[in-house]
Amino acid sequence: MTTGAFSCMFYGCTALVSAPEIPLPTISEQCFFYMFHGCTNLTKGPSILPAKTAPESCYNGMFAACKISEAPVIAATSLGANCLTLCFSGCKSLVEPPELPAISLGQKCYHSMFSGCTALRKAPALRATSLPMTCYGYMFENCTALEDAPELPARSLSSGYCYTNMFKGCTSLKVPPALPATTLGTMCYCEMFKGCTSLESAPALPATSMKDKCYQSMFEGCTRLLSAPDISATSLNSSCFHSMFRYCSALENPGVLRATTAAAYCYGRMYEGCSSLQIPPELPATSLGQSCYASMFEGCSSLRQAPNLPATTLAAYCYQAMFRGCSSLQTPTRLPATSLANYCYRYMYQECVELIGLPSLPATKLTTGCYDSMFKGCTKIQLSTSEEYQSSYRIPAEGTGTTASNALSNMFLNTGGTFTGTPDINTTYYTSNQIV
């Protein structure tokens, strides 16, 4: 059989209601590629796809957007790359999935296989323990009726991307599968449960060594999730937890974070928009990477205390917008750093309208944009150039400082005192606020 023998054969035949049987035990690459794609009135497919080996792209998009309610039996136990990609995508009447007996998988073999199957309530068993890149990516995306997730027995995800977006938008899914993997790969869990608005719990995450973006946006938008799992990892990678619990508006328990070295972007936007979070996790890291905490708690409107930040040497953008919009936060954390980096505190407490404390700032050598808009919109911060307030406040706290481009730009813009805007270095101001 030649490559692509039946490719697109009935593509877009909207009047076709029944498909012929396909009794071929041996098939070629792309042989049924998009064969019935867009046959929007097709209600009956073949009873079985009997080939034991599924070559590359052989069933890719085969029944996409059809009206079938029952899938054919899929006999293949050895899968090639993209072989079942998009096979049933958009089949909104599909209720029962086929069994998937394969344990030998190819790259992207199940990619988007059932995406948009809005009537699908259960998933087939997934037995493979050796996973190639992106094998389950987007597999059940937007299956809004899916209530039960399959077991995922693999313990190594080193190939990367394997569960990316797997259950994204599965708004009926309440209980996640266990995730026993201890070896991760790049983006392996990225956006896995994003938008699962009924998810009530998170699985344990036993891995101790991270990969780039491995948990990025994993639970983003899971609005019923109450508790985050404790993170065992002490070694982090770039963006490993970026946006992990973003917009989890019911989240109250943030879990435990143990790492003492923070990689670039690792915690960026991790809890952004978690409007029920009152107590943050401890952040023991003393070695920071670029943007490591940027916007970490932005929009956490119930946050009542800030975590200790023990690092004395900072990285570019490390605390940028970290607490922006935390409208219940009253007392800032101490900021002991004496070695700053470009834009390190930019927007850090912007729009914290209940903030009544001011951190002492000991660094004498400022950097580009380091304090830019740091307290912008903090209406309970009060500064004056005269002694109408009782406490003196200056930058730096002691000694003679040197400034840099935009280092102090709009630092106190739209605050509540008689002085607002951009302060001068080495100049004493007066404040009614407690200095910490």
Q: What is the pLDDT of residues 82-120, one digit of tens each?
A: 999 999 999 999 999 999 999 999 999 999 999 999 999
Into how many domains does the chain fold? 1
For the segment 245-272, what is each residue's pLDDT rounded down to a tens digit?
A: 999 999 999 999 999 999 999 999 999 9
Q: Is residue 1 part of a domain?
A: yes
Beta-carbon count within 10 A of 261 CB: 15
C-alpha 203/C-alpha 69 separation (Å) is 32
pLDDT score of 235 more than 90: no
Res 33: pLDDT: 98
Report, as an integer, the average pLDDT of 121-137.
Answer: 97
* pLDDT interval class at 232 (50, 70, 90): confident
CA–CA gap between residue 255 and residue 281 (Å, rounded): 7
Mean pLDDT along residues 286-293: 98
Confidence at 241, pLDDT banded by 50, 70, 90: very high
57 in any annotated domain: yes
pLDDT band for position 20 (cuts 50, 70, 90): very high
Confidence of residue 1 (pLDDT cuts 50, 70, 90): confident
Strand blocks (E) in 271-337: none
- Written as six digits, the tokens of 334 are 């101490």
Q: How many CB atoms lie within 10 A of CB 282?
A: 13
Q: For residues 247 and 289, give the distance between their C-alpha atoms in angstroms, rounded to a whole number.
A: 24
Asked if residue 232 lies in contact with residue 257, where contact means CB atoms within 8 angstroms, the answer is no
Note whether residue 283 is domain-resident: no
The percentage of the chain sitting over the pLDDT mark of 70, rounded to a whole number, equals: 100
Average pLDDT over residues 175-181: 97
* Amino acid at site 389: Y
Establish if 25 belongs to a structural domain. yes
| Contact criterion met (CB below 8 Å) for 269 and 239 | no
In a domain, 11, yes or no: yes
Residue 38's φ and ψ, nearest 5 degrees, are 80, 10
In a domain, 44, yes or no: yes
Quote the CA–CA distance of 365 and 339 in Å, as a whole number: 7
Tokens 């505190």 appear where? Answer: 345
pLDDT value, residue 93: 98
Domain range for 47: 1-149
Give Rg (Cα) of the chain. 27
The string of pLDDT tens digits covering residues 305-355 is 999 999 999 999 999 999 999 999 999 999 999 999 999 999 999 999 999
Q: Is residue 237 part of a domain?
A: no
Tokens describing residue 387: 């002694």
Average confidence score pLDDT of the chain: 97
The residue behind tokens 């977006």 is 165
Per-residue model confidence (pLDDT) at position 150: 97
The pLDDT value given to residue 91: 98
182-225: pLDDT as tens digits = 999 999 999 999 999 999 999 999 999 999 999 999 999 999 99
Q: How far apart are the first and last CA of the chain?
A: 77
Question: Is 28 contained in some domain?
Answer: yes
Q: What are phi and psi of 365, to 5 degrees?
A: -110, 105
For the chain, give the percent of residues with pLDDT over 90: 99
